[in-house]
Structure 1
Amino acid sequence: MTAACATGPQKPPPPRTLLTDAQFNDVRATILDNNTGMEPEMAGRLLIEALKFVVSAARFPSVRIAPTREVDEGWHALILHTHLYATLCSRLGRSVHHYPERPDASRHDPDVLTRTVALIERTGYTPDAELWVGPDSSLVTVAANCSHTPVPGGCGPINPGNCATHGGGE
């Protein structure tokens, strides 16, 4: 048995340690700038969940997962800090691309959140359950207005017909 097998899967880094304090505060400020009236604590929670999502998507690129609109708000803010995001993805071993599309209730896959939460747990994180609920049970209103369809061909114009929701398989 190899050492890797004996020790099991590598535990992921705590999501908060993926960014310096300055980086975390800058990305959280972007969330706050885009969501007037949001409390800083909530913006921090969204960012932490976005980091968990990105790590999970990088570790399991072929699994079709998607963030909630709330978590997507944190992911959007992270992506806007392009150098930071590129550096993070490089450290994770792969780029995690974002393929936005306009919301469409007819494409909603109720199982995608269950699958996403399960993958985050499999990665080694505990999801913030209040932020991983369906669109009818949102904890907070966010500016993000795109959704992610976990079926082939469901992506918007950026990557039509070749979607793995989070960019799976580089």
Structure 2
Amino acid sequence: MTTTAEGPAALRHGRDLVSPELFEKVSEFCAEEYGHELSTARNIVDQALAFLKVMGDARAFDMTPSNTVDPGWHSFALHTTAYAAWCQEQFGYFLHHEPKATVRTRPLIGSVVERIEAAGFYVDGGMWGAAKGCNPPACCGDGDGC
């Protein structure tokens, strides 16, 4: 009798939802526009893409990105042709961005993180203010939830 041990399922990454070329283009824009190191901008865009996929698939317009992740959405949306085509391909509709449409609170961001994780995406807790080792005010920059 042979037994195979199955490891944990590999987590999905937002960066895999677009071509490598588009991912780099948006990440480079995010780095330049928001003054981030390219490696940080790549993490921001990765998290933004995972967020967008979950929100768009579920039509969960009560979701909001953290202040840290939001520039990734802005950077993608400003590449209007690619963003519009991606939205149509992924969801069949254009996913609009309404700045400050939702007040960011710690419970709301926690719920967003849970939904992204439930969809099987890797979540960088530091990008969401949800890292276990995080201390206020660093982890509470997104709202008055602390």
Aligned to 1:91: 89
- Given residue 34 of structure 1, which amino acid in structure 2 is its aligned partner? E
Higher RCO (C-alpha 8 Å, min separation 6): 1
What is the Cα deviation at residue 41 of structure 1? Answer: 0.6
RMSD: 2.8
- Say if 2:131 is the partner of 1:130: no
Partner secondary structure for residue 70 of structure 1: coil
Q: Aligned equivalents of 1:13 and 1:127: distance in 2? A: 9
Residue deviations 1:10-31, cap 9 Å, x none? xx96422222222111111111
1:113 aligns with 2:109: yes
CA distance in structure 1 between the partners assigned to 2:12 and 2:121 by the alignment: 9
Q: How does 1:1-170 map onto structure 2 within 5 Å?
A: 14-36=13-35, 38-62=36-60, 64-93=62-91, 94-101=93-100, 107-133=103-129, 136-137=137-138
Secondary structure at the aligned position of 2:32 is classed as helix
In the TM superposition, what is the alpha-carbon distance from 1:35 to its structure 2 partner?
2.2
Moved more, 13-22 or 119-128: 13-22
Contact between 1:59 and 1:123, CA under 8 Å: does it hold in 2? Answer: no
User: CA 1:78–1:120 in structure 2 vs 1: closer, same or farther (change >3 Å)?
Assistant: same
Offset at residue 128 of structure 1 (A) = 0.8
**Between the two proteins, what is the percent identity of the paired residues?**
25
- Counterpart of 1:120, as a letter, is I
SS in 2 for 1:69: coil
The 2-side partners of 1:129 and 1:77 are apart by 21
**4+ residue segments displaced more than 6 Å:** none
CA distance in 1, matches of 2:62, 2:101: 18
Q: What residue ranges of structure 2 are gaps of 5+ in the alignment?
A: 1-10, 131-135
Distance 2:101 2:70 in 1: 13
Q: If the length of structure 1 is used for normalisation, what is the TM-score? A: 0.65
Asked whether the equivalents of residues 12 and 120 of structure 2 are also in contact (C-alpha less than 8 Å), the reply is no
Contact 2:12–2:121 (8 Å) recurs in 1: no
C-alpha displacement of 1:58: 0.9
* Aligned positions, number: 126
Q: Deviations over 1:61-101 (max 9, x none)?
A: 13621101110011100000011111111121132211013
Q: Output the TM-score relative to the length of structure 2.
A: 0.74
